[in-house]
Amino acid sequence: MDWNAPHPSAAVDADVLLPGSKSQTNRALVLAALADGPSTVHLPLAARDTELMADALVSLGARVERGPQSWSVTPIEPVGSAEVDCGLAGTVMRFVPPVAALGTGPARFDGDPRARERPMATTISSLRDLGVRVDDDGRGSLPFTVHGSSSVRGGDLTVDASASSQFVSALLLVAPRFTEGLDLRHEGGSLPSLPHVAMTVTELRRRGVVVDEAPGRWHVRPGPVKALDVTIEPDLSNAGPFVAAALATGGRVRVRNWPEHTDQAGDAWRDLAAAFGGRTDRDGSDLVVTGPERLAGVDLDLHDVGELTPVVAALAALAEGPSRLAGIGHLRGHETDRLAALATEINRLGGSVQEQPDGLTIAPAPLHGGRFETYDDHRMAHAAAVIGLRVPGVVVENIGTTAKTYPGFADDWGRLVP
Ligand SMILES: O=C(O)C1=C[C@@H](OP(=O)(O)O)[C@@H](O)[C@H](O)C1
Ligand SMILES: C=C(OP(=O)(O)O)C(=O)O
C-alpha cells in the first residue's frame, strides 16, 4: 500500500512506547525451545520475524502459546519431518538450521524470493563440518534440507562469518546441546554486528551456560540450558526513526523504558544523536532526545551497528554538511542490497548519495517529494518516513513491510504529527 509520509508543520514533540526487541525475542524463543523446562517470554515482539521463529520451533516440536502480553514455550520434543518458512528473517534462516540438526528427521528450509539471495553458505558448510547432512542445490543459499540425527558431537569448528554475525550467534545458541560443546573460531574478513554476538553470549550465560570468549573465538561448554522467564526490552533499533524525528525537526522525543544497560545495537542511538548535533538525557527510565538547530553531517563507521544504517543515511541526506558511512559492505546481503537501495531512492528524491565498496557518501542536496521504493525492507520504509518529516510529498511504497519487526509503525508514526 502506498502511504503518504506525514509532514509536520512544526518540530515534533512526542512520547513513544516501542514494541519488544526482535533480536532478544528470537534468542529467547530459541533458548526456551532448547531449555530443560518450560519458560515464559514476557512482552515479546509480536511481528512477522518473531511469529516465523515461533512457527519454526513449533514445526520442530516445541509448543508456543502466544498471549497478548507473554508467550509460553514448552521445549522441543523432536517430531519426524518439518517445513520451515524463514520469510525474510535472517534470525530464522540462520538460527533454526542448527536447532534442526538436533532433531530426528529432515527439515526443509525456504523463504521469500529475496531470502533465496541472502548469504547462507556459512550455515550450510558449518553444519556439514559438524557432520550434519545438508541437501542443497549447491548455490549456498535457501532452499535446503537439514537432516537431524538426534545428536551433534560439536568440538572444534572454524567459520567465516564476515557476511553476517548471525552465523556465529546461531552456532553459539545451540552449542551447549552439542555432546562436546563447541570451540568456535571466526576466520576471514572482519566480523560485523559485535553487539549482537555479545547479546547471544549474555543470554546463554543468563541460562547457566558457560561461555569463554577471546576476540574471534568462543568456547561453549556442553550442559543444560536452564529454563528462564524473561522480559524483553523495547527494540532500540526500531527507536531509530523516532530518535531521528527529534533530530530532523529540531524537536523532542521521549522514548519510554530505554534500558540503562543493554547489548542492543540500537543503544548506539545515544552516540549517533550526538554526532548529528543533538542531545540525549535520561529522565527516570526514559531517554529524551532533543534535536539540534542545524543537523550536522557525520563521519561514522557503522560496522558494529549496520542495521541502523538506513535511518542514519536518511538523516545524513537531510544534514547541512557532507557525510560518510563506512564499514557496512555486508549490508548488501540484508533484506535488500541496502547500499544500492538507499543510493537509488534518496537520489530519486534529488539527493546526492554515492555507493562506495564498504558504505555510502552523502552530500547535502535539496530534496523533493516522490515515491520511495522499500524493496520489502522495513528499514527502507523507516528511512523514507524520516525524510518525509522534512520533505513534503514523500510517498512510501508498501508501508506494510514494516510488519517484519513493527506492525504498528505507521500508526505510531502518525501520532508524531498530530
Ligand atoms: O543476531 C541478530 O539478531 C541480528 C544480527 C545482525 O545481523 P548481521 O550481522 O547480518 O548484520 C543485525 O543486522 C540483524 O538485524 C539482527
Ligand atoms: C538485517 C536485519 O534483519 P535480519 O534479522 O533479517 O538479518 C534488520 O532487521 O535490519
CA distance 89 to 48: 8
The verdict on whether residue 147 carries a ligand-binding annotation is no
C-alpha 14 chain-centroid distance: 25
Q: What is the pLDDT of residues 65-108, one digit of tens each?
A: 999 999 999 999 999 899 999 999 999 999 999 999 999 999 99
Q: What percentage of the chain reaches a pLDDT higher than 90?
A: 99
Alpha helices in 284-357 (DSSP H): 309-318, 338-348
Same fold, 3-19+235-414 and 22-219: yes
Asked whether 346 lines ligand 2 (CB < 6 A), one says no
Q: What is the pLDDT of residues 181-197, one digit of tens each?
A: 999 999 999 999 999 99
The verdict on whether residue 307 carries a ligand-binding annotation is yes
Which residue owns the Cα nearest ligand 1 atom 3?
23
Asked whether 96 lines ligand 2 (CB < 6 A), one says no
Q: Is the pLDDT of residue 62 over 70?
A: yes
Which of 94, 308, 335 best tests ligand 2's pocket when mutated (most atoms within 8 Å of CB)? Answer: 335
Contacts with 272 (C-beta within 8 Å, 6 or more apart), sequence order: 243, 298, 300, 308, 312
Q: Is the pLDDT of residue 377 over 70?
A: yes
- Domain 3-19+235-414 sits in CATH at 3.65.10.10
**The pLDDT of residue 43:** 98
Asked whether 192 lines ligand 1 (CB < 6 A), one says yes
Which residue owns the Cα nearest ligand 1 atom 16?
23
The verdict on whether residue 27 carries a ligand-binding annotation is yes
| 307 Cα nearest atom in ligand 1 | 13
**Residue 1 pLDDT class (50, 70, 90 cuts):** confident
Q: Is the pLDDT of residue 418 over 80?
A: no
CA distance 295 to 277: 6
**The pLDDT of residue 417:** 82
Angle at 133 between CA 130 and CA 137, to 5 degrees: 120
Asked whether 193 lines ligand 1 (CB < 6 A), one says yes
- Domain 22-219 sits in CATH at 3.65.10.10
Known catalytic residue: 320? no
Q: What is the pLDDT of residues 317-348, one digit of tens each?
A: 999 999 999 999 999 999 999 999 999 999 99
Q: Is the pLDDT of residue 310 over 90?
A: yes
Residue pointed to by grid coordinates 546461531: 170
Q: Where are the domains of the chain?
A: 3-19+235-414, 22-219
With b meaning 16 or more CB within 10 Å and e meaning fewer, what string describes 65-83? eeeeebbebbbbeebeebe
**Active-site residue, from 51, 203, 233, 307:** 307
Report the separation in Å between the CA atom of 392 and the middle of ligand 1, taken as the mean of its atom positions: 32
Asked whether 98 lines ligand 2 (CB < 6 A), one says no
The verdict on whether residue 164 carries a ligand-binding annotation is yes
